[in-house]
Amino acid sequence: MQGPFNRSGQRRPMAEINVVPFIDVMLVLLVIFMITAPMLNQGVDVDLPQAPAEPIDTPDDTEPVIVSVDKAGDYFITLGEDTTAVASDELAKRVGAIVQRRPDTPVLVRGDRDVAYGRVVTLMTTLQRSGVVDVGLISGPGDDE
């Protein structure tokens, strides 16, 4: 009969690992992430216009500055995970400081589809005056027509 003991009576180490507790923990984490992932909403609630456009190539190491205009016409700056509401006069100062520190930072505009066109144009000229050379526009995926 083969057992955990060898002939000299000493215990030999078991080469089996019980992975059932690990699987239980992983399944619990999977359920938690499946429930919380749809609840995560980054940035400002903006109803983007739909357009069939190609994505912009951005370097992987630089995080873009996203300037949003919501339905009410208020401005927001998103850098990484932080979103802050800003006034139009403070917007140029903040974005200008970011672009001065890191000139290769991409600046993107998220405009709500129901906001007046003039607000988006005013935002883009404000960004241009603050030193931003290229401004990208964010749109939702559109139908290819």
Task: Report, in angstroms and rounded to the nearest whole number, the Rg of the chain calculated over CA atoms.
Answer: 26
Q: What tokens appear for 55 in the block?
A: 């994505």
84-128 pLDDT tens trace: 888 888 888 888 888 888 888 888 888 888 888 788 888 888 888
The pTM is what? 0.58
| Euclidean distance between CA atoms 95 and 36, whole angstroms | 32
Measuring CA to CA, which residue among 136, 57, 61 is closest to residue 102? 61
Fold of 50-141: Nucleotidyltransferase; domain 5 (3.30.420)
In Å, how far are 70, 117, 136 from 109, measured between CA atoms? 11, 13, 6
Asked if 91 and 107 count as a contact pair (C-beta separation under 8 A), the reply is: no
